Amino acid sequence: MKVLMKGNEAIGEAAIRAGCDAYFGYPITPQTEVLEYMSRRMPKLGRAFVQAESELGAINMVYGAACTGTRVMTTTSSPGYSLMQEAVSYIALSFVPCVIVNIMRGGPGLGNIQPAQGDYFQMTKGGGHGDYHLLVLAPATVQEMVDLIVEAFDLADKYRQPVTVIADGLIGQIMEPVAFPELKAPQRPERPWALTGAKGREKNIITSLYLGAERLEQENIRLQATIRQIEENEVRYTEYMMEGAELVVVAYGTAGRIVQTAVKQAREEGIAVGLFRPISMFPFPYARLKEIASTAQQILVVELSAGQMIEDVRLASCDQLPISFFGKMGGVVPLPDDVLAEIKKLVK
Amino acid sequence: MHEEVIISGFGGQGALFAGQLLTYTGMDEGWHVTWIPSYGPEMRGGTAHCIVILSDDTIGSPIIRQPSVCVVMNPPSMEKYEPLVKPGGLLVANSTLVRARSSRDDIETVYIPANELAAELGNVKMANVVLLGAMLGTREILPIESVKRTLDEHIPERRKQIIEPNKRALERGVQYVREV
Amino acid sequence: MTQEAELVFSRPESLSDVVTHYCPGCIHGIVHRLIAEVMDELGIRERTIGIAPVGCSVLAYNYFECDFAEAAHGRAPAMATGMKRVEPDLTIFTYQGDGDLASIGTNEVIHAAARGENITTIFINNAVYGMTGGQMAPTTLPGMVTTSSPYGRDVKTQGYPVRVCELLSQLDGAAYIVRRTAYKPAEVRKLRRAIKTAFQVQMAGLGFSLVEVVSNCPTNWGMTPKESLKFVEERMVDYYPLGDFRVKDEVKDLR
């Protein structure tokens, strides 16, 4: 049974269905509806909801709840995610699971609230201090958002790491039909590492402080091993009209949707073009894109930024074929026509 | 089917609601649908618009430049969207507020005094649904009866009292364009 | 009396059997022991989570036999909020110094108190950043020399000290806000009672509780331990008067 739902509200409902037991957040456009939705739903289900004093507060509440082994989520938008970076770095080395959603907006600075993908580097290359990468999932539709949020909780538990989901105001504000999984009660599976009171066992400590260099190196090796596992297991992407594509357009999230329409129009005009849409931005689908680069004639990267993902596309393809870029910044969203014109320029 | 609809008016005129009504109906009729509003500061007192796409295929971009159907509820919307309607498309204008007339001969146009008609029915705020009726009465991209069913099924309990008046507003819009 | 005599000679179960890294003469050791004694007395060691700050007590988790987390600088009250909201039956306490709580973490502690979070904060005020080597703290006394106020704290350019208890006592969510010290045995006993009350306030669900401990730092004050205690008695307590700043009526009923 599908219901028509706004992307932001669907994020909240998906988390609830996945057994999210605690939500902490702070208002920031264009994702505030998640906070509002959770403020309505969570208390009625007997689950925790706090509107924090800041994003710093929110993410540290997440950190605290995560230490107890609870399924916990926060949502924010670009400037808020910047503010959270300190704790995110702590959480990564502390090996506790949580889900963080960044509904990106135009930047840098206060920027604006329009759709943008300028946080790609921050999201995929670490963001906070120290050596780490987080799993980053980028849905393009409300249904995909719901599916990935549900999965994000499982992945966070599996790797004991924060899992991030990125989108922008367009996916936050859009209404689409969506199906939800059954409601799951909050679960606390056996988590021997969690802080639950040292009853009948040695005390547990959750920290990211290791004063000895060798000891800290060990923890880093462990973290990197987790990241390698994530790289091995969690690559996700989708392909659209890729049969015989001479020009491959690479785009994700909102840009991916827009390109999809442009590709369809181009195909109707007989242009051999396809869309490759990464869904896991970290781990980036290097291997598949490398294969594609060996058969395609050229690549066009479309992003709502000055060009950030393009660096990963170049890495994947080893610059073996021409790669062009079409992007808009500051919250300007290109229309399918604009992308189509770009495609035609390249294949003429 | 593939229709790209823009509904635009002042904030508070109900452009977004009319779009949602269309979207719910499209979903219940089994089409792929998207609804996306303008959002942000422009919500506060300025113009508000939404884009509704109804399609028999999965929908890529939810935003478009040239609507196949456009409902304009106020002069700024007329000025902005009239030139953008796709050739062969439909423009429905609320002539109570929109004085201008389209000079294009490649689109179909409907002018309907929606505020007056809604006021006659007892509530000027229903002009949005009168316009929706006029739109569907001209091009029945979705059956009127289905829109009525949407009102029955998707209006929350606490707002039940608006269902019947809105059905009458819808019918009034249909009736107006059939008479003209 | 027999029982007290026993406590003097035995290590509380909640206190780890390890050598701490604290400097000789530092009051941290006393406060740690008092918290451990209270945990033992209330029988809550197995249902308590402590949160260590950034500062000298950053390694506090090595000294208690309960579950522990290490927070980012100043964020312990937010972390405690997250824990308490999902584990309301556990006792959650933060242990924070003046740089952590009264400077970088003012936002977190003020809002935790304002929300009336059922958590307990033990606040160690020794007027200096100890771990980084003796810089000026938000609670450094006017005229006091530190490595970053080498000419003495000049209130014209470096502002006035922050009195945390007075500040927090204005908040309706705060149930128990008191200031104690530990420079002599009688004060230590009063401090112990306050810590116990603070935990009881939390266990009774009455709201936010905080015990400030006016403390010392012989190393960075450049004093012998004895001199430092005299400085606490004569100068610190003068600026930071001991007492109860906010005690909700229901707290009085606890006793």
- CATH of span B2-179: 3.40.920.10
Angstrom distance (rounded) from CA C70 to CA C80: 11
- Residue boundaries of the structural domains of chain B: 2-179
Q: Say if the Cβ atoms of A260 and B24 lie within 8 Å.
A: no
Q: In angstroms, what separates the C-alpha of A179 from chain B's closest C-alpha? A: 12
Tokens 């949005």 locate to: B128
Tens-place pLDDT, residues C211-246: 999 999 999 999 999 999 999 999 999 999 999 999
CB nearest B63 (choices: A112, A175, A333): A333
Identify the pLDDT of residue B42.
47
What is the 3 state secondary structure string of chain A?
CCEEEEHHHHHHHHHHHCCCCEEEECCCCCCHHHHHHHHHHHHHCCCEEEECCCHHHHHHHHHHHHHCCCCEEEEECHHHHHHHHHHHHHHHHHCCCEEEEEEEECCCCCCCCCECCCCHHHHHCCCCCCCCCCEEECCCCHHHHHHHHHHHHHHHHHHCCEEEEEEEHHHHHCEEEECCCCCCCCCCCCCCCCCCCCCCCCCCEECCCCCCHHHHHHHHHHHHHHHHHHHHHCCCEEEECCCCCCEEEECCHHHHHHHHHHHHHHHHCCCCEEEEEECEEECCCHHHHHHHHHHCCEEEEEECCCCCHHHHHHHHHCCCCCEEEEECCCCCCCCHHHHHHHHHHHHC
**Quick check: A119 and A104 in contact, CB under 8 A?**
yes
Q: Say if the Cβ atoms of A177 and B36 lie within 8 Å.
A: no
Q: Which helix (H) or strand (E) holds C135?
A: strand C135-136
Q: What is the ipTM of this complex?
A: 0.94
Which A residues 117-146 touch C at CB under 8 Å? Answer: none
User: Residue A119: is its pLDDT beyond 90?
Assistant: yes
DSSP category for residue C105: T
Identity of the residue numbered B108: E
In this structure, chain C runs to a length of: 255
Structural domains in chain A plus CATH codes: 3-191+205-233 (3.40.50.970), 237-347 (3.40.50.920)
Read off the pLDDT of each residue in A27-52 and give the average, rounded to a whole number.
97
Q: pTM score, two decimals? A: 0.95
Read off the pLDDT of each residue in A21-40 and give the average, rounded to a whole number.
97
- Residue boundaries of the structural domains of chain C: 2-254
C131 in A contact zone (CB under 8 Å): no
The alpha carbon dihedral of C161, C165, C169, C173 has a sign of: positive
CATH architecture of C2-254: 3-Layer(aba) Sandwich (3.40)
Q: In angstroms, what separates the C-alpha of C92 from chain A's closest C-alpha? A: 10
Q: Say if the Cβ atoms of B60 and A260 lie within 8 Å.
A: yes
Per-residue pLDDT of chain C (255 residues; tens, 9 = 90+): 555 565 566 899 999 999 999 999 999 999 999 999 999 999 999 999 999 999 999 999 999 999 999 999 999 999 999 999 999 999 999 999 999 999 999 999 999 999 999 999 999 999 999 999 999 999 999 999 999 999 999 999 999 999 999 999 999 999 999 999 999 999 999 999 999 999 999 999 999 999 999 999 999 999 999 999 999 999 999 999 999 999 999 999 886
Identify the chains in contact with A, defined as 3+ C-beta pairs within 8 A.
Answer: B, C
C-beta atoms surrounding A325 within 10 Å: 17
Name the residue of chain B whose CA is nearest to A4's CA. Answer: B24
Query: Which residues of chain A make contact with C110, given a CB cutoff of 8 A?
Result: 53
Q: Say if the Cβ atoms of C108 and A61 lie within 8 Å.
A: no
Identify the pLDDT of residue A184.
84
